[in-house]
Amino acid sequence: MTALMTTASSAGTWQLGDRTVNRLGFGAMRLTSNADGTPSDRDRAITVLRRAVDLGVNHIDTAAFYFSPLRSANELINRALYPYPDDLVITTKVGPGRDPSGNFLPAARPEQLRGQVEENLRQLGRDHLDVVNLRIGAGLERGSGSLADRFGALAELRDAGLIRHLGISNVSLEHLAEAQTIAPVVCVQNQYGLGTRREDDELVRVCGEQGVAFVPFFAIAGTGESPAVLAVAQAHDATPAQVRLAWTLHRGPHVLAIPGTGDPEHLVENVAAGALRLSPDELALLDSRGAEG
């Protein structure tokens, strides 16, 4: 599919609390290093961020623990985009921590979350954070247990004016219900995709009923591709990644996408996926066979 003149607005919009964002956003994690683990090129990363905003992206997902030996996602965002556009929403997350060598530390205790919030504020050059997700667990391991004490600590920081809105990440339906009794939840961010953690289909549905944004990460990750995805991609002159992003956005008007890349050309392709419209037959084909290798 053509990517010329396609902007993030083609995917439509959704509300994160009182902020309106285009449903096609950007994830900053891949800005910090290359696929082989070497540090990314600083100038190229800054170019990608500025190009994303030029293409209408007004929702960027980041975290203080997104860093490589020489790069920090938050500081790249600060360098590229400060002073920030009025409509730009920066979502960050707290909970996990990493030591200087990159190893994950035990999950932060409630009393440690203020320090993590303040570190994000410092790196981004902000006096408040638009959205903060409490991430349960480290790495990609699905979190378990109560989040009440930690989410309650973030709710206090929201009341103090350091945070505008709250979300949760790597969670279950039970976590959402628990968090909603403490403070409003504007988004849920889980790993989810066409062939990934489809057990969260019900969570996606419930989020839609409650007006909560569902924000999948790693929605286009994978090492192989199914015949169904390839067939739909060929029919639209699109890439398989664009089809997977389009499928994600078709899950509901409350579903956002935050594909990340350090490649300016891939960025343009990802944004163009917001304009890709799949037919009911194509969606049925993808749902029935799209995850097959």
| DSSP states along 17-79 | TTEEEESB-EE-GGGSB-TTSPBPPHHHHHHHHHHHHHTT--EEE--TT-B-SS-BHHHHHHH
Q: Are 26 and 259 in contact (CB under 8 A)?
A: yes
Q: Which amino acid is it at 125?
A: G
Closest C-alpha to 216, from 261, 252, 176: 252
Single out the catalytic residue among 66, 82, 84, 192: 66
Q: Catalytic: 66?
A: yes
Q: Which amino acid is it at 9?
A: S
Report d(CA 95, CA 105) in Å as an integer.
Answer: 10
Tokens of 154: 């973030």
Please identify every residue annotated as catalytic: 66
